[in-house]
Amino acid sequence: MTRRKGCGCFSLIIIILIIALLVGIGIKNKDKILAFFYPTEYESIISEYCDQYGVDKWLVFALIKAESGFDADAVSAAGAYGLMQLMPDTAQWLIDRGEFAMEATAALENPRENLQLGIYYLSVLFENYQDEQGYTDPAIVIAAYNAGMGSVSEWLNDGTWDGSLSNVSDIPYPETERHVKSVLRNYQTYTDFMPNRLIKNSREKSFYKSEKVLA
């Protein structure tokens, strides 16, 4: 995963500045400004696979913004590739699990296949961490995407973290804690300001609209 520096206060300041700028320049230029700070590239592909795998497209946009900044050629120091910043071994596991006709290295470098694998991975994580009512807290999914299922399952099983966003500070990996908050701030902005710009996803849901921890 590409490491990003910053803090919650900085993100909040950016959002405030965007709002102020939108008010100052008028509504007619709003979409251009929002698209600059919160891109929606590859929207048709993302919507296609989100519908196929039952994943919220807004969460995918938020994750890509945090992971790669929509740079399809991004390669992290750890060796994660592409828009969804997938590791080669994770890609191979997903290809085997989903029985996809892909070759891992080529798939990671192909934006469409990278997106398909990443969105499929999110669907696997949502299914893996369902509670008895069939609900999965997106904070758990994002944490597992960042730190791995093994680490997150260990935290949940030994009581280190209860899997909730409200107790995200209990995550023992500071990078993962920051990443969860970053992705969900992005998600909040996408859902607050851009609901009419994208192709509709019949399965989309809204998470954390009022969680103060994101501020």
Residue 3 forms part of a structural domain = no
CA R_g for the chain: 17
Q: How confident is the model at residue 13 (pLDDT cuts 50, 70, 90)?
A: confident
Residue 34 forms part of a structural domain = yes
Say how many domains are in the chain: 1
Residue 214 forms part of a structural domain = no
| pLDDT tens digits along 91-143 | 999 999 999 999 999 999 999 999 999 999 999 999 999 988 888 999 999 99
Catalytic residues: 67
Residue 199 forms part of a structural domain = yes
Tokens representing 12 are: 């909040």
Angle, helix 111-128 to helix 43-53, in steps of 10 degrees = 30
DSSP string, the chain: -------HHHHHHHHHHHHHHHHHH-GGGHHHHHHHHS--TTHHHHHHHHHHHT--HHHHHHHHHHHTTT-TT-B-TT--BTTTTB-HHHHHHHHHHHT-S--HHHHHHSHHHHHHHHHHHHHHHHHHT--TTS---HHHHHHHHHH-HHHHHHHHHHTS--S-GGGGGG-S-HHHHHHHHHHHHHHHHHHHH-TTTS---TT-----TT-GGG-
* Residue 88 predicted with pLDDT over 80: yes
Residue 155 forms part of a structural domain = yes
Domain containing residue 81:
8-208
Tokens 């501020």, located at residue: 215
How many angstroms separate the CA atoms of 166 and 29, rounded?
Answer: 36
Angle, helix 149-158 to helix 138-147, in steps of 10 degrees = 130
Residue 43 forms part of a structural domain = yes
Residue 96 forms part of a structural domain = yes
Residue 78 forms part of a structural domain = yes
Q: How confident is the model at residue 3 (pLDDT cuts 50, 70, 90)?
A: very low
CATH code for the domain in which residue 20 is found: 1.10.530.10
